[in-house]
Structure 1
Amino acid sequence: MDALPLELQQRICSYLTIKDLKSLRLASKVWTAAACRDLLPRIFLFNHPDSCQEVQDIANHPYLKHSVTTLVIDTSCIHPDLKFDQWARNLANSSSTPRSEEVETVTSGSDARAERISHREKLRSDTLKLRKQWRSYCADQQASLKRLMLSSIALAFSECPRLRNLIVECNLERDYEISSSAGMLEKRKQFYHRVPFSNAESSNSKYQWSWESMHFDIWDIFKPVHNAGRSLNSLMLLDADLTCPLDWTPPNTPIFQTLKHLRQINSPTNFLTHIVASAPELESFGTFDRWNRRSYPSMPSLMSGPLLPNLRALSLNRMTKEEDLAQFLLRQSHTLQHLRIDQGYRGSFDWSRVVADVRGKLPNLRRVEFNNLSKGLLPYRWGMANYFSTVDILQGHKHKLESDPMELENGLWEDYEQMFFPVKIRA
């Protein structure tokens, strides 16, 4: 690797792991320009000045900008700042008992006790003031970084002509059933090498409390895409902590007109409904609903939307509602080929009615996967539960189900697809 030209070392090797790099032999600038189209398809953006600078360098590069097809934005936020180190050390060294040199010599024991009490009160007051100052500093830094991130997004979409895939995620709230992207974790190590990846790795770390998410207005993320006149090919909104007012009126935008693949975890329902209604070419949809402090059920976004004439693949994970699912599946029966339903919480719903309504009425299915679809409500003794299988829904089915590895669709990434369609990908 050291034998590579400096430009490739700085602009290519930093984005790829060793195993991803192939033997390179540069013959000319023409060869370099041609090779760059396949060397850097995915870039990552964090709330770190170096990350923003990295994205800007790529977007301004005469060759590399033509290779970028996917932008991954991480909205999680940490503050590994030297001032925070000093702040933490000050708190660690603070004591409720004053040092001897800080207490004036007094003759009366009661006066000394009053002095110690006064000093403790001063320490508490100073600590609260320091905490307030640090929070204010962090808020200012976060606002500055947010502006820097948004400007980097705008630059990427304005300068990278092949950029048509967007992933927005905040993997701080992931649970054990949703694994983080390998590419995202690898890039995080480069920018946050001094900070633990999770609280479990270092429960005593002074950085532990500083993990949080940056709150973005959802249109702030998509406005640069709109301004560039770009239509997305794939979109993933994964626990990104995006806000969308209930009275928000969507603008007339071409962003979703050619959208083919949509994945979501806890996205605002009204914005998700707008996406589905504005994406006539949508071919696959994957959703992961779960109960948390800001759970957004995704099924109403599908049910209230129009017929999706090109929908071929559907993945529903841990649904919070399923009342109208049968009607939706029947409405899409002419196009639906791949159906996956994973309830997650065993016994949380009775799927008997849904299965009875669609049995034998989905003639075009080629791939089917059911997990934990219980035959009745079973709040306990889950090991004794009965579950529906693919045979229960494929009564009189004419097509042989496929089980061979799938081709990865253009614009999708295997490390993210495993969250929604966990099947083998054909190499």
Structure 2
Amino acid sequence: MRCPECGEASNSRLRYCENCGAKMPEAPQGGTGSRPALRPKRAMDEPSYAADILDEAEAHSLGAAYVPAAAKAAAPADTAEDTDPGQTGPRFDGPRWLASVPAHSQSVVGLAILAFALALSILPAFDGVGVVGTVLALVGAVLVLARELRLAGEATGVTKLLPMVLYRPEVPAAYAALLTALAVRMLGLGFTPVLWLLGAGLIVHDQYRKVIAGPEGVLARYFDVKQLLVVPEVVALGGVALCVLTLFAPWATVSTLPVVADAPVPAGPPELHVIPAQRAADDVLYTAGSGITTLSGWDLSGSVVVELLLLSLLGLLALRPEVARPAWTRFASAGVVGVSLLWALLHIRLSPGPIIFVIGLAAVGVQAFRQLRESQLQAHAAAPVVAAYDDGLDETERMEDEPDPDAMGPDEEPEPDPDAMGPDDEEEDLKPRGR
């Protein structure tokens, strides 16, 4: 401690300076007294490490609190200023636009866009995918969202409600295929088609990287796309492509003009002949196209179902041979062709759309008939062959009471079996022989 008057160092225990005699300031409280041990108490048999003692002495000389090395190692690392103090998980190091998205998933963003597009389809001014397409899109969206949250460890209380079979990678892969088919139906100009292409593109791109692509992906384990390029299956592929493309062509025409009732005819003499004629509306002459609207195949009811059935048929044809198939799949091709043909006959008109659709469906029908014929031949070949009756005796074995026909003489005859005799044979034996 130094003297405040002369600046010479002096003993802190003295009250007056040894050099100038000035009064020394009071020593800090507790500086020279006894202090409690800063180290935790150790057992007598435990050695005292010199490094801990030196660190403790250095901390005391600096006036800082002593913290053991074990406590420093157990203390959490200091968080940066831009991190959340309540954050429990690791910091997200992906794209910045996914930082605030639940599960940091690109699929969740696509699901939000699709939900907005489905909500807009309720309004008459916006196009939609129909009732069946909307229901399938909503159900698949719930399953994919639950799977993404489960993989990220979020909303565990909700994700536990669904069975584990719905979290398999085949579910998001099938949903990606469904969205691809629905996006083809929504191709066109407008705000809703843009939303569908954007949302479906985000989901398909994300799920393709996660569950579809790769050696362990769904595509490599179940399907072989090269099978669709061989001669028998390529006919069905071309037929399905032709059927889907013809859905964009005109199929029917509908008049949008209101029906105007006949004008009342005033009473007149009997010889006055009035020809009844329907009066046209005032805006007929000024309506573009005379009030006739052309409908494409997508505007007809059930078009989305027919598209999904045809595309699912291609999926069955692309399955690997080692993949197990249910027994009903051999009739699936014929069933798809039958349902599609019935739908086409219900909406057929003298238009290029339905005629070309039936031609493409005929190509698919050829492949379906060939596949059904092959399945029947395989089932017939695999059927067990009924063996001939075997009495359990060897050919060399004979019963003791049965004579051998080869050892019998010309005059010897075997005794008849009573069970094999008829009523006429018995009566013949009872009659006396005439002389």
Q: TM-score, normalised by structure 1?
A: 0.23
Q: TM-score, normalised by structure 2?
A: 0.22
Q: Which has the higher strand share?
A: 1
Q: Which has the higher helix share?
A: 2
